[in-house]
Amino acid sequence: MARLRLTPFDALIVVDMQKDFSSGGSLPVKGAEEIVPVINSYVSLFREKGLPIFATRDWHPENHVSFKDNGGIWPRHCVQWSRGAEFIDGLELPPDTFIINKGDKPELEAYSGFQGTLLDSLLRERGVKRLFVCGVATDYCVKNTALGGLNLGYQVFVFSDAVRGVSPETTERAEEELLERGALFIEKEELL
Ligand code: VGL
Ligand code: ZN
């Protein structure tokens, strides 16, 4: 078992914990509600230490290219300002959480929280070196946000007890790819 302690160079990235990705939403990810309390406990931990917390949101316009109606592969989801785009009930984000909207250009898919956003510059400004990633979906936005972080030179940890994927096969492949690229998977007990 690994043991690690949070340092002043760490940030928490909560990926797409939105109603449309929970049960009853238009693109439900199994177990998304289940990880809400786990994510809340990570949020408290980072908050206690005064470390920055970022929450990404899938934030699509009505005419987004990823929707089936517009030639994409997904049902309509996370439309800007709609109820489905809201954070899942019970998710406790402090008022100073940085909200990162992505996928807000009609013609561009954005599975990564770094794509077309200020995330990298906000992290850099704060001297962040290590990212701790949780949320949904392991096989899409968690994966691409983590890979984006690795490409930009961050050390990336994925909280394995606080992520969920769309399908078991793609989730397993995503985990494999993340491991190959140097991400580490850790859980609550390993954080001192
Ligand atoms: C996501 C599918 C479509 C995600 C976003 O947050 O993983 N998946 N849009
Ligand atoms: Zn989307």
Domain 10-190 class, CATH top level: alpha beta
Contacts of 101 (CB under 8 A, 6+ apart): 56, 57, 59, 80, 117
Measured distance CA(33)–CA(27) in Å, rounded: 13
Residue 60: closest CA among 75, 49, 48:
75
Token digits of residue 9:
């160079």
Mutate to test the pocket of ligand 1, among 20, 74, 108 (most ligand atoms within 8 A of CB): 74
Ligand 1 mean position to 142 CA, how many Å? 9
Its pTM stands at 0.98
Residue ranges with strand state E in the chain: 10-15, 53-58, 98-102, 130-136, 155-164, 184-186
The answer to whether 129 is a known catalytic residue is no
Question: Mind listing the pLDDT tens digit for each residue in 127-185?
Answer: 999 999 999 999 999 999 999 999 999 999 999 999 999 999 999 999 999 999 999 99
CB 141 within 8 A of CB 58: yes
